Amino acid sequence: MRFQLIDAKKADLPIERMCALLTVSVGGYYAWKNRRPSQRQLDDLVFLAHIRAHFAASNGTYGSPRMHVDLCEEGLNIDRHRVARLMRDNALKANQKRRFKKTTDAINPILAATGYNFRLILKWIRLLLRQIWIMIFFNQSAKTV
């Protein structure tokens, strides 16, 4: 991590100065810089190529558990934690499809498009009908008296 920081900022400050600030040796930095990748790093690159191919084939919906199963079926000997680490480090996050959610509770779909609250409208209609019925009833009973 320190050597990567030195390598990223070597244009801004002298390497010797940054090595002194981060308490690492200059020789250690150059040894890190000239070192060949380890076998594990090379294996990670191979596994990552397979993971990217499966991820693209699944339209980005496979997470690490399902990806691990696919890689094992393909004949690759890889642990699920390694798959999870490689996917996390390379920003391969599964996008799950959302389930359908009913957004309206409408009686009439044409009226639903307008966005009115139908329960409130029905409540007001019932109230108005009740008042009209009471007015008609009392008017007729007043006429009969």
Residue 103 has a pLDDT of 67
Q: How far apart (Å, rounded) are the C-alpha atoms in residues 31 and 126?
A: 85
Report yes or no: 48 and 35 within 8 Å, Cβ to Cβ: no
Q: How far apart (Å, rounded) are the C-alpha atoms in residues 119 and 103?
A: 14
Q: Nearest to residue 48, comparing CAs of 16, 89, 14?
A: 89
Look at the block and give the residue holding tokens 């200059």. 26
Q: How far apart (Å, rounded) are the C-alpha atoms in residues 74 and 69?
A: 9
Residue 19, token pair as written in the block: 């090595």
Q: How far apart (Å, rounded) are the C-alpha atoms in residues 82 and 60?
A: 18
Residue 137 has a pLDDT of 74
Task: Collect the ranges in the chain with pLDDT lower than 50.
Answer: none
Residue 92, token pair as written in the block: 């391969």
Residue 145 has a pLDDT of 55
Residue 108 has a pLDDT of 61
Residue 99 has a pLDDT of 79
